[in-house]
Amino acid sequence: MKAVFIKKHGGPEVIHYGDLPKPEIEENDVLINIKYAALNHLDIWVRMGIPGIKVKFPHILGSDGAGIVEECGNKTTSFKKGDKVLIDPGISCGICTMCRKGEHSQCKTFHLVGEHIDGTYAEFVKVPEENVHPIPDGLTMIEAAAFPLTFLTAWRMLISKAKIKAGETFLIIGIGGGVATACLQLAASMKLKTIVTSSDDNKIKKAREIGAFEGINYKKEDVYKKVKAITGGEGVDIVFDSVGAETWETSLKCLKRGGRLITCGATSGGIAQTDIQRVFWNQISIFGSTMGSRGEMNELLNFMKVAGTRPVIDECFPLKDYKKAQKYMESKKQFGKILIEI
Ligand SMILES: [Zn+2]
């Protein structure tokens, strides 16, 4: 089968497009004929090598995907050949205390499709049955491939952790990436007043089109002063910051008393200064979060059906041009998801 894979860690030059054997399924697996897959920044971390994570080479990249069931393991019960399905990329043991509490993304063995195990940039991928979901009515195959990782991450942060409410004010640091865009779309559906930041006026314009109330170009304006001005001097209820070191202090300053900060990444670095007095005096909560649980995935799928929320798709490349797609993602020019057609 055709696939995009790496034979060692390194720069873009280690990415190959070629033939690999079709995977053989175990009794609890489903084999899926992938039609679309979606890029995530995780692809780049896996390509370069994540400390502590060993992958078996050749390793197929890709965490998000949707397609058609090709074959079902003997012990599976929910699917049959021909079903249209999408993949929940989070793999957990299912039997530890955290898994039994329904906190799958806190399982000690938690990992993602395409990270420790072969991913979705291939004609076929095998995943455990519990990671397979029917594509909800109304969602196209390409949309089904585009949303799971980023929307599930956004859902857990906003709904389960920050417990957002209609009418609250919400600041998104750096709009354009998959999780930030998912946060904006969920917040817009839930009637929050969302402010986004970017260095690109065009991205701010696009953000307004999908529900942002206000945009701040941080190259031209001071984010803290502008947030204060927009909120009548109060600050916002919630900040989403996955930029990290470069923006952390400003993000904390932009919160009103009792505000909540949510984070699922630190692309500019993980070490930053925190004014602890501000945290306790203003009674600020900081929520770290990663991916989501099986239950949260079900909640999200239901929400998308009811609310009609659809992921923003920026561009779609053929599988053989994956290297170009990854380069495009690294250029940070995209707004929404970059897809691969297989
Ligand atoms: Zn577990």
Residue-level pLDDT at 235: 98
C-alpha 94 to ligand 1 mean position (Å) = 5
- Shared domain for 80 and 129, answered yes or no, is yes
C-alpha 109 to ligand 1 mean position (Å) = 6
Across the chain, how many H-helices and E-strands are there? 11, 18
Residue-level pLDDT at 187: 98
Mean pLDDT for back-to-back runs of 10 residues, the chain (342 residues): 98 97 97 98 95 93 98 98 98 96 95 96 98 95 97 98 98 95 97 98 97 98 98 98 97 98 95 97 98 96 94 97 96 95 98
Residue 304 lies in a domain: no
C-alpha 182 to ligand 1 mean position (Å) = 27
- Contact (CB, 8 A) for 171 and 195: yes
Structural domains in the chain (count):
2
For the record, the structure tokens of 82 come out as 């021909």
- Shared domain for 117 and 190, answered yes or no, is no
Ion ligand 1 residue ranges (Cβ < 5 Å): 92-93, 96, 99, 107
Q: How far is CA 139 from the centre of its chain?
A: 18
Residue-level pLDDT at 19: 98
C-alpha 245 to ligand 1 mean position (Å) = 31
C-alpha 108 to ligand 1 mean position (Å) = 6
C-alpha 214 to ligand 1 mean position (Å) = 41
Residue-level pLDDT at 52: 87
For the record, the structure tokens of 163 come out as 């417990």
Q: What residue numbers bound the domain in which 93 lies?
A: 2-147+310-341
- Shared domain for 216 and 259, answered yes or no, is yes
C-alpha 320 to ligand 1 mean position (Å) = 36
CATH number of the domain where residue 160 is located: 3.40.50.720
